[in-house]
Structure 1
Amino acid sequence: MNLLRTSENSQPTTAQTGAQPRTPVLLFINGTWRPAASTHTFADINPTTRLSYATVADGNVSDIESAIAAAKAAQPAWEALPPAARSGFFYKAAEIFQSSQEKFVNALVEETGSGLGKAMFECSLIPLALREAAALTTRATGEILPSNIPGKVNTISRTAAGVVGVISPWNFPLYLSLRGFVYALALGNTAVLKPSEDSPISGGTILAELFEAAGLPSGVFNVVTCSRDKVKAVAAAMINDPRVARISFTGSTAVGREVATTSAAQFKRVVLELGGKNPVVVLDDADVDYAVNVAFFSAFLHQGQICMSADKIIVARNLYDSFVEKLIAKVSMFEPLEPSNPMAVIAPIINDRQLDRIDRLVKSARDAGATIHLGGEKLGPFYRPTVMTGVTRDMDIYREEIFGPVAFVMPADSEEEAIALANDTVYGLSSSIITGNATRGQILATQIEAGMVHVNDTCVHDEPHCPFGGMKASGWVGKWGASGAIEAFTEQRWISVQTVPRAFPF
């Protein structure tokens, strides 16, 4: 089954051409595929080969304004559809996705360097999110409240915010892009997506293909891709446009702060998922082998290039030596491989900027006295999985998000010290506690300053129906997921009706 139905204005898709997309890849605005207004393009780079994977339309401010205009025009009719009608598009998209999943997996592998396992894991979340969105269309319920005024009826309702501007990242591009807009669409909003320049296809145009195939009305969902050189101007145009009611952003804390500051000046609400310095806390009653498995998955899935990845592992003193020995042994089993290899767990780093940054953090810590037990070096586009000890608070690697296949292990002499180390960061996204006593873990979870704490499980975890988001410098205002979307993407309105004449004092 082809991903897209054929039509004159449809571009060739990965489903029709295989893993390598036919180029140039176009913008998707108001239900049509078009080149950038400037006709400029940019190279989408394969992280493994560091060669061009595709040529992509390089949108500019004019293109983002056209997309916003299309979304604004389409929004009233989209919101006016019966909930069941909106749901149908999401159910259809889920059906199409499952029948074409291999094409999405291939795009993630080729464009972002995702190992096959990670790509399949990411794709497993897509039908869940689409079906959760379908169920959300009837969940923005209202209230009838009593009044102190005789004969008055107070109704509280939820209406769509309007146009949602979405800026998404490259690391889990398919899921994080979808999550950024699909619940907003379910609630009657329309959207304009600007995917990362490192994943314009798997984080952008392939989703436009999916929803076009599902028959989504023109203008409801739009995608504008652009190069790194134009990101600031295009994003600023989206954020500053008064027709955009909400900004949905996933990315670094530094950029998120700029987004929040600019939006706040316009009293524009934002939903932010930002960086993390996520700990795995291993308590003194934990099963060491299980703790090592959790820590490995948490730290090294997708080469640690996940906002929830754990790079700080805090282990009770009585288990510390055994844990470090076993973690080193496990990590040593996984050398970097090309992502298309079915055995690939550690695949390439997304680009040279990130590769050099990881190496700088590791080498700086080593030079300051930390010990590298394994890894600690670049191998072409890869970074060898790295285990470190002896990291101290004065080192950059202790404070900064690494976003690479690097984990450092720290001992803790008490429960209190372990929690203090876990909280010793400006971030507060996700955390993990490993213990032989789940009740103990649940109690301690309330003391960790993070938006999400998972007891006896990895800190890299998401379920579409749960509220996803962080605290401190990891998130602000809204939550992702269906349960947070109603608050994030609707306006609460109070309408009162005076059913009998009211007596006024003058």
Structure 2
Amino acid sequence: MNLLRTSENSQPTTAQTGAQSRTPVLLFINGTWRPAAATHTFADINPTTRLPYATVADGDVSDIESAIAAAKVAQPAWEALPPAARSGFFYKAAEIFQSSQEKFVNALVEETGSGLGKAMFECSLIPLALREAAALTTRATGEILPSNIPGKVNTISRTAAGVVGVISPWNFPLYLSLRGFVYALALGNTAVLKPSEDSPVSGGTILAELFEAAGLPSGVFNVVTCSRDKVKAVAAAMINDPRVARISFTGSTAVGREVATTSAAQFKRVVLELGGKNPVVVLDDADVDYAVNVAFFSAFLHQGQICMSADKIIVARNLYDSFVEKLIAKVSMFEPLEPSNPMAVIAPIINDRQLDRIDRLVKSARDAGATIHLGGEKLGPFYRPTVMTGVTRDMDIYHEEIFGPVAFVIPADSEEEAIALANDTVYGLSSSIITGNATRGQILATQIEAGMVHVNDTCVHDEPHCPFGGMKASGWVGKWGASGAIEAFTEQRWISVQTVPRAFPF
């Protein structure tokens, strides 16, 4: 299977050669691979070398409209398939993925700068999500409700929403793109995916090839890639198209707000996973060494470029000095490495815009009085892992999502103060509580304003069968996974049947 398809199938793929593709990676519309309608292309940049990784078709509004048309035509027949038939495609895709996983790992490493360990971790979620989708085909259950009218039977059923438009990010592109549409497909919807311009292959076309190999019917899943210059127009065309029934978006809160506003004007439902300022709360009875390990993983996995990453570590005063000392010692063990290095934990930042933004936030906090104990500087395409203290509410870094390998530690003098600090943010995606008493942690978890609270575990955690999503400025309306996906991607219909003639008053 050629997982990074070009217009000449005999040529080696980018992931296999590590070099720029000589022919463009194509769009996938209605079961066929085609160039962009205007034949434009753009360069997909390797974050480590800052050189082209691939040449990719640069789709425009006409391409997204073609993809939507294909999805609209394919949807009724896809929904009409028996659940066992639909689930078979997901099981087949899982088998193919597991037999070809190395190619997916390589794509993540080369296109997005994922460390080898992070890439393998991300890939471990894919078969789970595919098999969860297969199981979901039979879980959109209905109800039979009583009636106050003699002889009436009320049934409540769920049907597919229709076409789902998906806009996915670059940071966990393979999994987050898949999650954006696979549960919708399982429930009888069709989908059009516009992956990030920073991960058009690992977040887009590689998935099209996977489902093509699994035999998915034409038009059920479509991928349109485009450059940064065209993102706004292409995304707007998708959101505004009346044939699109749902929008599935993962990205920044600022862009998510625009998506929500535009969709709301059309009464179009959306599923949004947005930014986060995710706390790790270390209580006074925690094991410090374990808490440091949890905080390190939560803050520095994939260089902190994860929506669930923790950059705010809140530590009970009695453990604070020991925790800071041990966290600095732990972080100092990990210097930036090229992502293909098996020992790489800190790999490159996705692009120079993000690299400069991280540095600005750190330097601004330092200039305002915060202390940088470690890191705090750029190193080529990398940012040195950074530990800070003395961060206060008047600093931008306290409020903004950093999306980089930076953690700051704040002391708390009481349990109440720790919870207040955790909730002192507009965001509410994920969080962690580390404690020696799991019951205490479970009670406090109900006080944290986040869609997900993990007691004695990292806040970077996802299981495909659990509803994933946030509160406040981190999410809106729907969630992915299990019952959340059913609610998000189906319409509820009430059908009543009057089995005997009804007596009317006039």
TM-score when normalising by structure 1: 0.98
Distance 1:14 1:226, change over 3 A: same
- Aligned-pair CA distance for 1:503: 1.2
- Aligned-pair CA distance for 1:116: 0.1
Distance 1:145 1:17, change over 3 A: farther
Q: 1:308, 1:429 within 8 Å by CA — same for their partners in 2?
A: yes
Distance 1:421 1:306, change over 3 A: same
Question: Residue 407 of structure 1 aligns to a residue in which SS?
Answer: strand
Q: 2:251, 2:274 within 8 Å by CA — same for their partners in 1?
A: yes
Please give the alpha-carbon distance, in whole angstroms, between the structure 2 residues aligned to 1:145 and 1:440: 40
- Aligned-pair CA distance for 1:15: 7.8
Please give the alpha-carbon distance, in whole angstroms, between the structure 1 residues aligned to 2:81 and 2:280: 46
Distance 1:244 1:10, change over 3 A: farther
Q: 2:431, 2:452 within 8 Å by CA — same for their partners in 1?
A: yes
Distance 1:110 1:485, change over 3 A: same
Deviation per residue, 1:396-418 (Å, 9 max, x gap): 00000000000000000000000
Please give the alpha-carbon distance, in whole angstroms, between the structure 1 residues aligned to 2:174 and 2:228: 19
Q: 1:204, 1:225 within 8 Å by CA — same for their partners in 2?
A: yes
Q: 1:10, 1:32 within 8 Å by CA — same for their partners in 2?
A: no
- Aligned-pair CA distance for 1:435: 0.4
Question: Residue 294 of structure 2 aligns to a residue in which SS?
Answer: helix
Question: Residue 280 of structure 1 aligns to a residue in which SS?
Answer: strand
Deviation per residue, 1:448-469 (Å, 9 max, x gap): 0000000000000000000000
Question: Residue 44 of structure 1 aligns to a residue in which SS?
Answer: strand
Distance 1:17 1:185, change over 3 A: farther
Distance 1:283 1:6, change over 3 A: closer
Q: Percent of counterpart pairs with the same letter? A: 98
- Aligned-pair CA distance for 1:483: 2.6
Please give the alpha-carbon distance, in whole angstroms, between the structure 2 residues aligned to 1:124 and 1:387: 29
Please give the alpha-carbon distance, in whole angstroms, between the structure 2 residues aligned to 1:11 and 1:214: 22
Distance 1:236 1:12, change over 3 A: farther
Question: Residue 373 of structure 1 aligns to a residue in which SS?
Answer: strand
Distance 1:347 1:8, change over 3 A: closer
Please give the alpha-carbon distance, in whole angstroms, between the structure 2 residues aligned to 1:5 and 1:406: 37
Question: Residue 410 of structure 1 aligns to a residue in which SS?
Answer: strand
In structure 2, the gaps of 5 or more residues are none
Distance 1:9 1:67, change over 3 A: farther
Aligned position for 1:78: 78
Please give the alpha-carbon distance, in whole angstroms, between the structure 2 residues aligned to 1:181 and 1:249: 10
Q: 1:304, 1:406 within 8 Å by CA — same for their partners in 2?
A: yes
Aligned position for 1:465: 465
Distance 1:85 1:20, change over 3 A: farther
Deviation per residue, 1:255-283 (Å, 9 max, x gap): 00000000000000000000000000000
- Aligned-pair CA distance for 1:222: 0.2
Deviation per residue, 1:148-173 (Å, 9 max, x gap): 11111111000000000000000000
Deviation per residue, 1:475-503 (Å, 9 max, x gap): 00101113311000000000111111111
Please give the alpha-carbon distance, in whole angstroms, between the structure 2 residues aligned to 1:461 and 1:342: 22
Q: 1:15, 1:100 within 8 Å by CA — same for their partners in 2?
A: no
Deviation per residue, 1:174-223 (Å, 9 max, x gap): 00000000000000000000000000000000000000000000000000
Aligned position for 1:420: 420
Q: 1:19, 1:107 within 8 Å by CA — same for their partners in 2?
A: no
- Aligned-pair CA distance for 1:9: 9.0
Q: 1:12, 1:22 within 8 Å by CA — same for their partners in 2?
A: no
Question: Residue 212 of structure 2 aligns to a residue in which SS?
Answer: helix
Distance 1:16 1:368, change over 3 A: closer
Deviation per residue, 1:360-389 (Å, 9 max, x gap): 000000000000000000000000000000
Report how many aligned residue pairs link the two structures.
Answer: 506
Task: Compute the RMSD of aligned alpha carbons.
Answer: 1.7
TM-score when normalising by structure 2: 0.98
Please give the alpha-carbon distance, in whole angstroms, between the structure 1 residues aligned to 2:91 and 2:218: 18
Please give the alpha-carbon distance, in whole angstroms, between the structure 1 residues aligned to 2:503 and 2:203: 59
Please give the alpha-carbon distance, in whole angstroms, between the structure 2 residues aligned to 1:11 and 1:134: 34
Question: Residue 476 of structure 2 aligns to a residue in which SS?
Answer: strand
Q: 1:5, 1:213 within 8 Å by CA — same for their partners in 2?
A: no
Please give the alpha-carbon distance, in whole angstroms, between the structure 2 residues aligned to 1:161 and 1:452: 26
Distance 1:341 1:17, change over 3 A: closer
